[in-house]
Amino acid sequence: MNRSFWIIALINFINSLSFTILIPTIYQYGREFHLSDMETSFLFAIFSIAQFFATPIIGKLSDRFGRRPLLIISLAGTVIGNLLAGTAPNAMVLFFARFLDGVTGGNISVAQAVISDVTTPENRAKGFGIFGASLGLGFVVGPVLSLVAQQRSLGTAFLVSSAVAAIALILTIFFLPETLQKKSDPSANIFDLGLRDLVKGLTFPKLGILFLINLCVGTTFTLFTFAFQPYYLKVLHQDTKSLTLLFFAIGIVGVVVQIQGVKIMTKYMSLVKILFIGLFFRSLSFILMPVVPDIHFFLAVSIIFSLFNSLVQPMISTLISLNTSPEEQGKMSGLNASYLSAANGIGPVIAGLMVDQKNPLTYGYPLYLAGIFTFVVLFFAVRNRRKYTPKMT
């Protein structure tokens, strides 16, 4: 792995740190503005819906103009958006801030394109494993910073997130070289990647199936992430501080798995089989979490979840990259991120429709649905594995 790889891994860690600082606080922060569960689900969704439309264009722009300038723009949007959210005087400003962060939030897809630029096909799974570990490390440190920020106020977490994103922005400006070697055709319209192309992307040979799997997997995960917090707080009767510590523990396990687990597993089995294992245990964990409303049972299942969940996204990203030509890495990473953003917008809305604030046990319903749907996705992935498996795996 060369110098550019480790720089983007560091930037990705800091960027994920900025994101994970917010995860334990968004639900409760929305309630400070007197938002209902349904309205809070839209607060989750607006960020992802904005990403859905913007990320493919950002990815395509990075193929035309380079990774570095688009990463700078994207990180700048995160800095401004979180600054606005942390100082929002009302819910309208808060929603706008989340929209702004989303519409410029193509940084992960651009970072993934950088990883593809600087790694060989043989090392790509390892590269995406380390890339995923840098995200996971953000889940370790982020909750700690969030816990400190919450001592002042929930809004302070957004301000700290903005400051952390500013560090990633500075690193990108001064230390990240351009990694794109061959730019895409300048005669093409850079803004033609609309809904028609997003639908068309699902028909691409090999890639279309992977995009569909990622869309479905993302939907199940956001069903989980929306229901996870209120279930933990209202059904298990825990507080925000212990929730933050749980995120911290899950992050530690995820980092270890992605740094060492992926490296070891890829020596003995294919990327596709690792993906199947991750999906199976993720779905099982979703179903088991709400079965017994007991904190000790919930924590035990959460540890199992964190062990195997961290395998899923690196494997999907690696398979997509291996099935993509070098000059289209940014475009396909952007498409993939956009499908994931669509999932992130769909999941919270479905979960918001399923729950009833007057009956806290309903917060377990989205978890059951997420588990059942993930089993369906696993069946689909197994059945169609020959259509997207690269020859080298």
Interior/surface letters 215-230, b for 16+ CB within 10 angstroms, e for the rest: bbbbbbbbbbbbbbbb
Cβ distance 63 to 327 under 8 Å? yes
- State the Cα–Cα distance between residues 70 and 282, nearest whole angstrom: 33
* 52: pLDDT strictly greater than 50: yes
Residue 124 vs residues 116, 291, 322: alpha-carbon distances, Å? 7, 38, 8
Global pTM reads 0.71
Dihedral over alpha carbons 170, 159, 111, 344 (to 10 degrees) = -170
Lowest mean pLDDT among 120-134, 184-198, 289-303: 184-198
CA nearest neighbour of 331 among 109, 77, 23, 158: 109
In a domain, 299, yes or no: yes
Cα angle value 309/154/295 (rounded, 5°): 45
CA nearest neighbour of 121 among 325, 344, 388, 372: 325
In a domain, 13, yes or no: yes
Residue that has been written with the tokens 């259509």 in this structure:
387
Cβ distance 333 to 132 under 8 Å? no
Give Cβ neighbours of residue 169 (< 8 Å, ≥ 6 apart). 72, 75, 76, 79
- State the Cα–Cα distance between residues 303 and 45, nearest whole angstrom: 27
Query: What is the extent of the structural domain holding 96?
Result: 3-176+194-387
In a domain, 182, yes or no: no
In a domain, 148, yes or no: yes
CA nearest neighbour of 215 among 339, 96, 81: 339
pLDDT band per the 50, 70, 90 thresholds, residue 195: low
Q: What is the pLDDT of residue 281?
A: 94
| Domain count of the fold of the chain | 1
- State the Cα–Cα distance between residues 332 and 109, nearest whole angstrom: 9
CA nearest neighbour of 56 among 308, 265, 333: 333
pLDDT digits (tens, 9 = 90+) for 333-373: 767 777 877 787 788 888 888 888 788 889 999 999 999 99
In a domain, 181, yes or no: no
Cβ distance 275 to 381 under 8 Å? yes
In a domain, 187, yes or no: no
Name residue 324's amino acid: T
| Residue 359 DSSP SS3 | strand
In a domain, 185, yes or no: no
In a domain, 392, yes or no: no
* 159: pLDDT strictly greater than 90: yes
Region 218-239: what's the mean pLDDT? 86
* 393: pLDDT strictly greater than 50: no
CATH classification at residue 39: 1.20.1250.20
CA-atom Rg of the chain in angstroms: 20
